[in-house]
Chain A
């Protein structure tokens, strides 16, 4: 029995995903929940498990292609595999206390679904909250054998206006023919395919805006409400001045594009101003050197500098709530949660997982959350909500030896703290020169909301918290 594999919805505000890598080839055997392909969305990259065991029959969407959620990206032949995988699965099941040798086929979880309804349930790798589940509207066969997804209303209107739904292309979720689509056809005077958005070529001039709304759609239809607006990435110089000599063109990954768009928007919207301060980290460096082995032994997690910085920022943010804020037009949104994003450098880009309610965690809790998020960022296991709802961010160019960095604000925050490398430097303390572990901290802030006075007081607060650290961390 063929089981459709769908592009999952990875979060409430995510409508499309790009297949970055197929982990199986057609003809390969797959187990249920075995990683099948990798995707990249606006928010996260993720491995998607197979919805069913079987043999990968067909890949319908090639690597690099971006498709709407709920699109069928592959087909697994589950029936073929039931026989093949059932014996393999059976031994695992016999671990159950009552291993009565069943004369009938074993209840292997990978067995082929009995009915089509079950099949479509299994296919729903998307979160349960997604209303656009595979088993949505009943469908009729499309001419090329695909099912047509519409709705009772659309089918009634089609009947009343003699419109053949097989000739329409839908713009609803998963390509469904929606009320909007059929009303557009009716308004245009009959059965006519609505213009579907052309698939974006892998390497296209980036300045081209996404496909405009089909001309047949009446003006009253809102412009795809809620969709993510991608800014066009412009070139600073004419294209012919870019290509010369020997070169190789690499398309940006989805993540690279999102970073690029985000940075352009952030710099355009937020007037960035920068503050720099210097922190004597000697006390914390010594504390960490002294306790890190014991810490790791006792709590089974590594002791890093990051939780110290997070804790210090929490103090600063508590004292200066306008730094823990967002701007919305002429309003300043003061966030009551303190959710601190931590920039994690990846081999393939950068992501900012968020420690939610950082002010409510103790030191060990912070350290665990940081290590867990960083680890899962690197293994592509972050959930979309774990990179959202940050209220402030910390980035650490120091890990690569940078003395200081002036980061770009991670929207919709109004400030970001940059940490340089901790370095032993000669410093003057009460007319004596001493060797101390010193650190430059920088803050980029949105001058619409935060002024220099606040920014420097915030940094002073952070500095004091670090230099006078007294909390026992063991």
Chain B
């Protein structure tokens, strides 16, 4: 997946000279995770810019670049630090087009998520702060194919897009990518697995956990339909409701913490749009409402796993 993201950046920079990268160590060092390795050599220091350690400065500069006609891709070394730019992103970037008619075609991307024993400051899933912000788009892919196609769409989109890259998946999900240019549309979920007994909605690393749980359940005669959201904002209402109308039960799985996670939003959406199709409560399996623990055994308890997902799905199927 890491290589797919690098390819997307490379190809978009080849295609459009307005695309520039900036961030901490993205140039000479090639990025903390080596996502931008080799790009400085190919595109030069004017388009691959090493910045000081100031996330506020990075996003601020990117906004200015956007106004001047560039399409900046700003990297947060760890997405946790995007909190430093909360004011700029929510008050300024998100509202710029609405208030001043000035579009901000920028992408803020960076490694997110836990499961790699990164501790409370290098494992966050801060997507919901921004899903609550009209004017932004929020993307969180789970496969290498999607990561490349969605990042290309994000760079080409005239709205500000936050692009979350789950670092657990960087070197774990691998697949052959088609040669040549392709994109994956923003705002479209995908059904990863068809099923009749219940719908399991997820994204990013938990999509893989949900798929594994679905395999376990299939051996017990429970056929789960697994939906990968891919884009969290705007949310693909149609795909979700169509699936609920088919299976009549829905379980949401996310790695983000429980309270205020997207599961609550999906529960409301399903109740509004498919109440009379529900044959059970909307359930969720999420991380616990705590910071991400540093201790590996605690982190394992904190994160949803296949057993927890399968157990909740069993309860729901039996309900």
* A contact residues vs B (CB 8 Å cutoff): 12, 15, 130-132, 136, 151-156, 172-173, 176, 178-179, 222-226
Contact = CB atoms under 8 A, between A and B. Distances in A.
Contact of B276 (A156, A172, A173): A156
Interface string B19-43: 0000000000000000000000000
A12 B313 CA distance: 11
A178 B279 contact: yes
A152 B276 CA distance: 5
B277, B316, B318: most-surrounded residue (chain A CB, <10 A): B318
A15 B314 CA distance: 12
Contacts of A155: 276
Given A153-B279, A155-B276, 11 more contacts: A12-B315, A15-B318, A131-B281, A131-B312, A154-B279, A172-B319, A173-B319, A178-B319, A223-B221, A225-B221, A226-B318
Interface in B118-151: none
Interface in B276-298: 276-281, 283
Contacts of A176: 319
Contacts of A223: 221
A222 B222 CA distance: 7
A153 B277 contact: yes
Contact of B315 (A130, A151, A179): A130
B190 interface: no
B220 A179 contact: no
Given A179-B279, A225-B318, A12 B222 contact: no
A132 B279 CA distance: 12
B92 interface: no
Nearest to A150: B279
B278 A225 contact: no
A356 to B, nearest CB: 11
B275 interface: yes
B283 A152 contact: no
Given A12-B311, A172-B319, A178-B319, A225 B281 contact: no
Given A12-B311, A131-B312, A225 B275 contact: no
A152 B277 CA distance: 6
A123 B317 CA distance: 23
A151 B314 contact: no
B277 A225 contact: no
Contacts of A130: 315
A264 B318 CA distance: 28
Interface in B192-208: none
Given A172-B318, A173-B319, A225-B317, A151 B311 contact: no
Contacts of B217: 225
Contact of A151 (B220, B222, B280): B280
A138 to B, nearest CB: 11
A154 to B, nearest CB: 7
A152 B248 CA distance: 10
Nearest to A160: B276
Contact of B221 (A15, A172, A178, A222): A222
Nearest to A177: B279
A224 B220 CA distance: 9
A15 B220 CA distance: 16
A264 to B, nearest CB: 23
Contacts of A179: 248, 279
A179 B249 CA distance: 10
B221 A153 contact: no
A131 B220 contact: no
Contacts of B316: 131
A131 B221 contact: no
30 contacts: A12-B311, A131-B283, A131-B316, A132-B315, A151-B278, A151-B279, A152-B275, A152-B276, A152-B277, A152-B279, A153-B276, A153-B279, A154-B279, A156-B276, A156-B277, A172-B318, A173-B315, A173-B319, A176-B319, A179-B248, A223-B221, A224-B318, A225-B217, A225-B220, A225-B222, A225-B314, A225-B317, A226-B220, A226-B222, A226-B314
A176 B221 CA distance: 21
Contacts of B315: 12, 130-132, 173
Nearest to A227: B318
Nearest to A178: B279
A161 to B, nearest CB: 14
Nearest to A153: B279
Contacts of A156: 276-277
Nearest to A12: B311
Contacts of B278: 151-153
Nearest to B196: A220
A115 to B, nearest CB: 20
B221 A132 contact: no
Interface string B153-177: 0000000000000000000000000
B247 to A, nearest CB: 10
B227 to A, nearest CB: 19
Interface string B211-223: 0000001001110
A15, A156, A225: most-surrounded residue (chain B CB, <10 A): A225
Q: Sort A-B residue pairs by CB-CB distance and give the 10 closest, nearest first.
A: A222-B221, A179-B279, A153-B279, A225-B221, A156-B276, A225-B220, A151-B279, A226-B314, A152-B278, A12-B311
A136 B282 CA distance: 11
A152 B280 CA distance: 8
Nearest to B317: A225
A12 B221 CA distance: 18
Nearest to A156: B276
Nearest to B283: A131
B18 to A, nearest CB: 50
A172 B317 CA distance: 9
B281 A136 contact: yes
Nearest to B251: A131
Nearest to A180: B279
A297 to B, nearest CB: 33
Contacts of A153: 248, 276-279
Nearest to B314: A226
A155 B278 CA distance: 10
B141 to A, nearest CB: 29
Contacts of B275: 152
